[in-house]
Amino acid sequence: MLTVIPDLLDSGSVHRIRSLIDAAQWVDGNVTSGHQSALAKRNMQLPEDAPQAQQAGQIILDALGKSPLFIAAALPLKIFPPLFNSYAGGQAFGVHVDNAVRIQAGTGFRVRSDLSITVFLEDPELYQGGELTIETNFGVQQVKLPAGHAVLYPSSSLHRVEPVVRGRRVASFFWLQSMIRDDAARQMLFDLDSSVQALAADLGHDNAQVIRLTGVYHNLLRRWADA
Protein backbone atom coordinates (compact mmCIF):
# COMPACT_ATOMS: atom_id res chain seq x y z
CA MET A 1 0.00 0.00 0.00
CA LEU A 2 1.33 3.40 -1.02
CA THR A 3 -0.31 6.33 0.77
CA VAL A 4 0.33 10.02 0.13
CA ILE A 5 -0.18 12.25 3.18
CA PRO A 6 -0.81 15.79 1.90
CA ASP A 7 0.25 18.75 4.05
CA LEU A 8 1.67 16.71 6.89
CA LEU A 9 3.72 19.82 7.64
CA ASP A 10 2.50 23.37 7.13
CA SER A 11 4.80 25.97 5.60
CA GLY A 12 5.86 27.27 9.01
CA SER A 13 6.94 23.81 10.14
CA VAL A 14 8.87 23.24 6.91
CA HIS A 15 10.62 26.59 7.42
CA ARG A 16 11.55 25.72 11.03
CA ILE A 17 12.93 22.35 9.99
CA ARG A 18 14.96 23.80 7.14
CA SER A 19 16.34 26.53 9.39
CA LEU A 20 17.57 23.85 11.77
CA ILE A 21 19.00 21.34 9.33
CA ASP A 22 20.45 23.74 6.75
CA ALA A 23 22.72 25.19 9.44
CA ALA A 24 23.95 21.74 10.55
CA GLN A 25 27.03 19.78 9.49
CA TRP A 26 26.15 17.15 6.84
CA VAL A 27 28.11 13.93 6.34
CA ASP A 28 28.30 11.09 3.81
CA GLY A 29 24.95 9.31 3.66
CA ASN A 30 26.48 5.86 4.06
CA VAL A 31 26.79 6.35 7.83
CA THR A 32 23.43 4.54 8.16
CA SER A 33 23.71 2.16 5.20
CA GLY A 34 23.58 -1.59 5.27
CA HIS A 35 25.92 -3.52 2.94
CA GLN A 36 23.53 -3.57 -0.01
CA SER A 37 22.55 0.10 0.34
CA ALA A 38 26.16 1.26 0.56
CA LEU A 39 26.78 -0.07 -2.95
CA ALA A 40 23.99 2.08 -4.41
CA LYS A 41 23.83 5.17 -2.20
CA ARG A 42 25.33 8.56 -3.00
CA ASN A 43 23.95 11.40 -0.91
CA MET A 44 24.53 13.53 2.18
CA GLN A 45 22.90 13.03 5.55
CA LEU A 46 22.66 14.54 9.01
CA PRO A 47 24.16 12.39 11.77
CA GLU A 48 21.51 10.67 13.89
CA ASP A 49 22.81 12.34 17.06
CA ALA A 50 22.98 15.88 15.62
CA PRO A 51 20.86 18.12 17.89
CA GLN A 52 19.40 19.85 14.82
CA ALA A 53 18.21 16.50 13.45
CA GLN A 54 16.64 15.58 16.78
CA GLN A 55 14.81 18.90 17.08
CA ALA A 56 13.62 18.79 13.47
CA GLY A 57 12.59 15.16 13.87
CA GLN A 58 10.42 16.01 16.85
CA ILE A 59 8.50 18.51 14.71
CA ILE A 60 7.74 15.70 12.26
CA LEU A 61 6.77 13.23 14.99
CA ASP A 62 4.39 15.79 16.50
CA ALA A 63 2.78 16.28 13.08
CA LEU A 64 2.39 12.52 12.56
CA GLY A 65 0.63 12.21 15.89
CA LYS A 66 -1.97 14.74 14.71
CA SER A 67 -2.56 13.12 11.30
CA PRO A 68 -5.64 10.85 11.21
CA LEU A 69 -4.65 9.64 7.72
CA PHE A 70 -1.20 8.57 8.88
CA ILE A 71 -2.55 6.78 11.95
CA ALA A 72 -5.26 4.98 9.95
CA ALA A 73 -2.86 3.90 7.19
CA ALA A 74 0.12 2.97 9.36
CA LEU A 75 -1.40 1.81 12.67
CA PRO A 76 1.99 2.63 14.18
CA LEU A 77 3.49 0.76 17.11
CA LYS A 78 7.06 2.15 17.08
CA ILE A 79 8.59 4.91 14.95
CA PHE A 80 12.31 5.24 14.25
CA PRO A 81 13.47 8.83 14.88
CA PRO A 82 13.37 10.81 11.62
CA LEU A 83 16.60 11.14 9.63
CA PHE A 84 17.43 13.75 6.99
CA ASN A 85 19.17 13.48 3.61
CA SER A 86 20.13 15.63 0.67
CA TYR A 87 20.83 14.92 -3.00
CA ALA A 88 22.53 17.27 -5.47
CA GLY A 89 25.02 17.23 -8.36
CA GLY A 90 23.89 13.91 -9.83
CA GLN A 91 23.65 12.09 -6.52
CA ALA A 92 21.18 9.20 -6.39
CA PHE A 93 20.22 6.06 -4.47
CA GLY A 94 20.01 2.97 -6.64
CA VAL A 95 17.51 0.14 -6.33
CA HIS A 96 17.42 -1.38 -2.86
CA VAL A 97 15.22 -2.83 -0.13
CA ASP A 98 15.35 -1.29 3.35
CA ASN A 99 16.86 -3.35 6.16
CA ALA A 100 14.30 -5.49 7.97
CA VAL A 101 15.32 -4.19 11.40
CA ARG A 102 16.61 -0.70 12.16
CA ILE A 103 18.58 -0.07 15.37
CA GLN A 104 19.08 3.44 16.70
CA ALA A 105 22.80 4.08 17.14
CA GLY A 106 23.98 4.04 20.74
CA THR A 107 20.67 2.77 22.13
CA GLY A 108 18.76 -0.46 22.42
CA PHE A 109 15.84 0.97 20.49
CA ARG A 110 14.94 -1.04 17.42
CA VAL A 111 12.02 -1.32 15.03
CA ARG A 112 10.96 -3.89 12.49
CA SER A 113 10.72 -1.84 9.30
CA ASP A 114 7.20 -2.56 8.07
CA LEU A 115 6.73 0.87 6.47
CA SER A 116 9.06 3.54 5.14
CA ILE A 117 8.25 7.25 5.11
CA THR A 118 9.66 10.10 3.05
CA VAL A 119 8.73 13.66 4.00
CA PHE A 120 9.62 16.11 1.23
CA LEU A 121 11.27 19.34 2.41
CA GLU A 122 12.02 21.10 -0.89
CA ASP A 123 9.53 22.34 -3.46
CA PRO A 124 9.70 20.15 -6.59
CA GLU A 125 10.16 23.04 -9.03
CA LEU A 126 13.47 23.90 -7.34
CA TYR A 127 15.22 20.68 -8.37
CA GLN A 128 15.26 18.35 -11.36
CA GLY A 129 15.19 14.60 -10.91
CA GLY A 130 15.08 13.10 -7.44
CA GLU A 131 11.85 11.16 -7.90
CA LEU A 132 11.23 8.41 -5.37
CA THR A 133 10.60 5.42 -7.62
CA ILE A 134 8.77 2.51 -5.96
CA GLU A 135 8.04 -0.87 -7.52
CA THR A 136 4.57 -1.96 -6.42
CA ASN A 137 2.17 -4.79 -7.26
CA PHE A 138 0.45 -2.32 -9.59
CA GLY A 139 3.60 -1.30 -11.45
CA VAL A 140 6.30 1.31 -10.94
CA GLN A 141 5.21 4.55 -9.28
CA GLN A 142 7.23 7.75 -9.12
CA VAL A 143 6.64 10.17 -6.27
CA LYS A 144 7.80 13.80 -6.13
CA LEU A 145 5.68 15.88 -3.79
CA PRO A 146 5.47 19.49 -2.58
CA ALA A 147 7.39 20.44 0.55
CA GLY A 148 5.49 19.29 3.63
CA HIS A 149 3.83 16.32 1.90
CA ALA A 150 4.79 12.75 2.80
CA VAL A 151 4.51 9.29 1.31
CA LEU A 152 4.16 6.02 3.20
CA TYR A 153 5.04 2.69 1.53
CA PRO A 154 6.09 -0.87 2.42
CA SER A 155 9.74 -1.16 3.39
CA SER A 156 9.86 -4.46 1.52
CA SER A 157 9.36 -2.62 -1.79
CA LEU A 158 12.19 -2.26 -4.25
CA HIS A 159 12.73 1.49 -4.51
CA ARG A 160 15.27 4.10 -5.55
CA VAL A 161 15.88 7.85 -5.72
CA GLU A 162 16.55 9.11 -9.23
CA PRO A 163 19.63 11.30 -9.85
CA VAL A 164 19.23 14.96 -8.94
CA VAL A 165 20.69 16.83 -11.90
CA ARG A 166 19.73 20.39 -10.91
CA GLY A 167 19.16 21.99 -7.53
CA ARG A 168 18.97 20.11 -4.24
CA ARG A 169 16.47 17.55 -2.97
CA VAL A 170 16.06 17.65 0.82
CA ALA A 171 13.86 15.20 2.70
CA SER A 172 13.32 13.33 5.92
CA PHE A 173 13.19 9.55 5.85
CA PHE A 174 12.57 6.91 8.48
CA TRP A 175 10.74 3.67 9.25
CA LEU A 176 8.04 2.37 11.52
CA GLN A 177 6.83 -0.88 12.98
CA SER A 178 3.08 -1.25 12.53
CA MET A 179 0.76 -3.03 14.92
CA ILE A 180 -0.22 -5.00 11.80
CA ARG A 181 2.76 -6.81 10.31
CA ASP A 182 1.02 -8.01 7.13
CA ASP A 183 0.65 -5.36 4.43
CA ALA A 184 -2.50 -6.93 2.94
CA ALA A 185 -4.21 -7.04 6.34
CA ARG A 186 -3.22 -3.45 6.99
CA GLN A 187 -4.68 -2.45 3.62
CA MET A 188 -7.98 -4.20 4.44
CA LEU A 189 -8.22 -2.42 7.78
CA PHE A 190 -7.47 0.92 6.15
CA ASP A 191 -10.13 0.36 3.48
CA LEU A 192 -12.67 -0.72 6.10
CA ASP A 193 -11.88 2.26 8.32
CA SER A 194 -12.19 4.66 5.38
CA SER A 195 -15.57 3.18 4.45
CA VAL A 196 -16.84 3.34 8.02
CA GLN A 197 -15.83 7.00 8.31
CA ALA A 198 -17.57 7.83 5.01
CA LEU A 199 -20.74 6.04 6.11
CA ALA A 200 -20.66 7.75 9.49
CA ALA A 201 -20.44 11.13 7.77
CA ASP A 202 -23.57 10.29 5.75
CA LEU A 203 -25.63 8.33 8.27
CA GLY A 204 -24.30 9.48 11.64
CA HIS A 205 -22.06 7.71 14.12
CA ASP A 206 -25.09 6.37 15.97
CA ASN A 207 -26.42 4.51 12.92
CA ALA A 208 -26.81 0.79 13.70
CA GLN A 209 -24.86 -0.37 10.63
CA VAL A 210 -22.06 2.11 11.30
CA ILE A 211 -21.82 0.78 14.85
CA ARG A 212 -21.80 -2.81 13.59
CA LEU A 213 -19.05 -2.13 11.03
CA THR A 214 -17.04 -0.22 13.63
CA GLY A 215 -17.21 -3.34 15.77
CA VAL A 216 -16.00 -5.47 12.87
CA TYR A 217 -13.02 -3.12 12.40
CA HIS A 218 -12.02 -3.27 16.06
CA ASN A 219 -12.50 -7.01 16.29
CA LEU A 220 -10.22 -7.54 13.29
CA LEU A 221 -7.69 -5.14 14.80
CA ARG A 222 -7.93 -7.04 18.08
CA ARG A 223 -7.33 -10.33 16.26
CA TRP A 224 -4.35 -9.19 14.20
CA ALA A 225 -2.59 -6.48 16.21
CA ASP A 226 0.71 -6.79 18.05
CA ALA A 227 0.44 -4.15 20.75
> Is position 166 annotated in a ligand binding site?
no
Q: Percent helix, strand and coil across the chain, each rounded to 5?
A: 35, 30, 35
> Is position 16 annotated in a ligand binding site?
no
Helix spans in the chain (H): 11-22, 35-40, 51-65, 68-74, 183-203, 208-224
C-alpha to C-alpha distance for 20 and 179, rounded to whole angstroms = 32
C-alpha to C-alpha distance for 7 and 5, rounded to whole angstroms = 7
> Is position 149 annotated in a ligand binding site?
no
- Is 133:141 a contact under the CB 8 Å cutoff? yes
C-alpha to C-alpha distance for 224 and 222, rounded to whole angstroms = 6
> Is position 98 annotated in a ligand binding site?
yes
C-alpha to C-alpha distance for 227 and 218, rounded to whole angstroms = 13
Annotated binding-site residue numbers for Fe cation:
96, 98, 159
Annotated binding-site residue numbers for 2-oxoglutarate:
169
Annotated binding-site residue numbers:
96, 98, 159, 169
